C-alpha cells in the first residue's frame, strides 16, 4: 500500500487528488484546512487531519502524525489567494498567502524528504499558471507566492533526482474551485472556459503512472477559452 500525504484535501484540487489516490488503494493522510474539520472521504484508508497552514505548531503536529518510515507521494495542494491591485493589498492577506503557499509546503516537504527518498517517491506541487510566463494583474502577490513554489520544485528535483525522487510542478489556469472566493471576478459557467479539479487529478494520475526512469517535471493546464466576468456586488 502506498503512503500518501495530500494537503488542502478538504476541497478543490487537493480533494480531487486525494479521492483519486484513495480509489487506487493508497493510504492517504488527508490534511485539511481549518474549515475541513469533519470532512468525510468515505474510505477507511483516509486519515483526516486538520491544519492551520499559517501556524508552525499545526504543521509540526501533522508531520508527527505520519508514523510510517516512508512516504510514496506528497501532494502540496493547499492554497490561498487574495486578489486586487498591489497598492491595495492588505498586509495581513499577503502574509497569509506567503504562509500557506510558500512556507507550509517548503516546511512539509523538507521535513518529509527522508521518508520520500526512502520510497523513491514523488512530490507534486499544485502551483499556478501565474507562476510562469503569464502575468497576473490583480493577482501579483498570489502569483509571486506560486512562482516561489515552482522555483522550489525545480531546484528540489535537481537535488533529489539522484535519489530517485520525482518532483512535478502542475500549473493550472482558472479552475472551478473555491480558491476564487476572495476575487472580484468569477467564471461564466461555460464548460470550456474553466478547468475542473478532476482535470488536474487526471494529469496527476497520468504523471504518477509514468514509467520509472522518466519524469514529467512541469505541466501547464489551461481551459480552451478565457471567459471571466465581474462579480455582481449587489
Q: Which residues are catalytically annotated? A: 142
| Residue 127 contacts residue 85 (beta carbons within 8 Å) | no
Helix (H, G, I), strand (E, B) or coil at 22: helix
DSSP for 55-83, please give it.
-HHHHHHHHHH--SS--SEEEE-------
28 three-class SS: strand
In the β-sheet with 3-7, what is the strand arrangement from edge to edge? 46-50, 27-32, 3-7, 73-76, 122-126, 166-172, 218-221
Residue 187 near residue 176, CB atoms below 8 Å? yes
User: How far is residue 5's CA from residue 24's CA, in Å, rounded to a whole number?
Assistant: 14
Contact 107, 156 (CB under 8 A): no
CA distances from 180 to 1, 83, 186, 221 (A): 35, 8, 7, 17
Look up residue 42 and give its three cell numbers: 468515505
Amino acid at each position: 500500500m502506498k503512503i500518501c500525504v495530500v494537503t488542502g484535501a478538504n476541497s478543490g484540487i487537493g480533494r480531487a487528488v486525494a479521492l483519486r489516490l484513495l480509489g487506487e488503494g493508497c493510504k492517504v493522510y488527508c490534511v485539511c484546512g481549518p474549515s475541513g474539520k469533519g470532512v468525510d472521504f468515505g474510505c477507511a484508508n483516509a486519515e483526516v487531519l486538520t491544519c492551520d497552514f499559517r501556524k508552525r505548531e499545526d504543521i509540526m503536529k501533522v508531520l508527527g502524525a505520519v508514523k510510517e518510515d516512508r512516504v510514496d507521494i506528497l501532494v502540496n495542494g493547499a492554497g490561498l489567494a487574495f486578489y486586487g491591485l498591489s497598492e491595495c493589498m492588505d498586509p495581513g492577506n499577503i502574509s497569509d498567502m506567503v504562509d500557506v503557499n510558500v512556507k507550509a509546503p517548503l516546511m512539509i516537504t523538507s521535513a518529509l524528504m527522508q521518508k520520500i527518498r526512502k520510497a523513491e517517491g514523488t512530490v507534486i506541487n499544485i502551483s499556478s499558471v501565474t507562476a510562469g510566463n503569464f502575468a497576473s494583474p490583480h493577482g501579483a502577490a498570489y502569483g509571486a507566492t506560486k512562482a516561489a513554489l515552482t522555483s522550489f520544485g525545480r531546484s528540489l528535483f535537481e537535488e533529489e533526482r539522484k535519489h530517485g525522487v520525482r518532483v512535478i510542478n502542475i500549473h493550472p489556469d482558472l479552475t472551478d474551485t473555491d480558491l476564487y472566493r476572495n476575487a472580484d471576478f468569477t467564471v461564466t459557467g461555460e464548460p470550456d472556459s474553466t478547468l475542473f479539479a478532476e482535470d488536474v487529478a487526471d494529469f496527476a494520475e497520468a504523471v504518477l503512472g509514468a514509467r520509472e526512469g522518466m519524469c514529467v517535471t512541469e505541466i501547464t493546464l489551461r481551459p480552451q477559452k478565457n471567459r471571466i466576468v465581474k462579480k455582481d456586488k449587489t
